[in-house]
Structures are given as structure tokens and as C-alpha cells.
Amino acid sequence: MVVLNKIYTKTGDRGNTALGTGERVVKHHTRISAYGTVDETNAVIGMARQSTSSDDLAKVDEMLARVQNDLFDLGADLCTPDRGEKLEWEPLRISPAQVDRLEKEIDELNADLEPLRSFVLPGGHPAAAALHVCRTVSRRAERLMVELAGEDDEPVSEAALQYINRLSDFFFVASRWVNARHDGDVLWVPGANR
């Protein structure tokens, strides 16, 4: 259980912060950037959900609520690197079941869509446009997680990497699903403005 009696601690005033293990690292460490961008993804989902509260978009809104919870799990996973050390508690990790659920939800939404015959421009319904912002921020989180995993002694689990990779696909399909219920996707027209 989380209990916060005081929000500021002053322990980061010199530019460092603590991981879940208690280890202190600089705030610009790749691990901090990775889970900070996961948190940013969660925040933009919160903004996107302001446009998914209507009855016709309830299905996507429920999925987004689950993703928001998963992203806290992912942040916790990244905050406590698994270096094979025995900890006094069982750290929270992204599970293959969470990846499977996300894949099923992508497939469920995609089943209602016509095949894609052009690249899609971010836009259309406000919720679809917001989901494209979620997609691009989650891709940035993925790039940072992959960068972190490539560093010495900076493990990132396979399930965490799979989850973040699927997440941007989810946002893309969800944006198309939203637009399919409204005025359709905004399609790229190559060389249209030459």
C-alpha cells in the first residue's frame, strides 16, 4: 500500500533520485528517463480519455483505463531493476498475461476495421487525434527502454519490452476504431502539396 504524508522530501534537490531498490542515480539516468516517459504516456492517456467518455467509445475508454493501470505496473517494474539480487519484497513486474491481453484487445478493435490502404495522418475525431499523441509518446518510451536494455547491467524484462512495443500498436488501432465510428481516418496523400 502507498502512503504519502508529505509530497516533497528535498532528497532530490541535488539532482539525484532513488530507485525502488534504494540505489540513488542521477535524474537524467536512462532508467529515470524511461519510466518518466512511461508516466508521461499515462498522463496523455488521461487527456485522451476526456474525449472517450461517450457511450459509443466506452469500449476504448475501458481499455485505456486498464492500460493506465498497467503503466503504473510498468513504471514499478522499471524502477526496480532485476539484477538477480534477493530483495525483501516481491517487485511488481509486467507479466506475459498483460501482453496477451493487450494483443487480444488490439485484435478485437482491428476486427471491426477495413484494411489499411494508405498511411494515416493523426487527426479525425478528437479522441483519435489524442490517441495518436499517446502513440508517439509511448514510442519514445519504447526507444528509451530499448536504450536502457542495451546498457551494461541495466536489465529490462522481455515482457516489459513486448508490452511497450504492443502499446503503440494498440493506440494506432484504437485511433482508427474511433475514427471508423465517426468520419473515418484522415489519409496521407503522397505529394499532395507539391
Per-domain residue ranges for the chain?
24-82+93-110+120-183
Listed as ranges, residues in the chain with pLDDT below 50 are: none
Which residue is associated with the grid cell 529515470?
Answer: 32
User: In sequence order, what are the residues at sequence separation of 6 or more whose Cβ sits closer than 8 angstroms to the Cβ of residue 115?
Assistant: none
- pLDDT of the residue at 26: 87
Q: What is the pLDDT of residues 125-141, one digit of tens each?
A: 999 999 999 999 999 99
Asked if CATH classification 1.20.1200.10 holds for the domain at 24-82+93-110+120-183, the reply, yes or no, is: yes
- pLDDT of the residue at 157: 96
Radius of gyration of the chain from its Cα atoms, rounded to whole angstroms:
19
- pLDDT of the residue at 4: 67
User: In sequence order, what are the residues at sequence separation of 6 or more whose Cβ sits closer than 8 angstroms to the Cβ of residue 75?
Assistant: 35, 38, 39, 42
Q: Which residues pair with 18 in a beta bridge?
A: 24
**Measured between alpha carbons, how far is 138 from 75 in angstroms, rounded to an integer?**
13
Which triple of cell numbers denotes residue 40? Answer: 508521461
Helix (H) or strand (E) holding 112: none
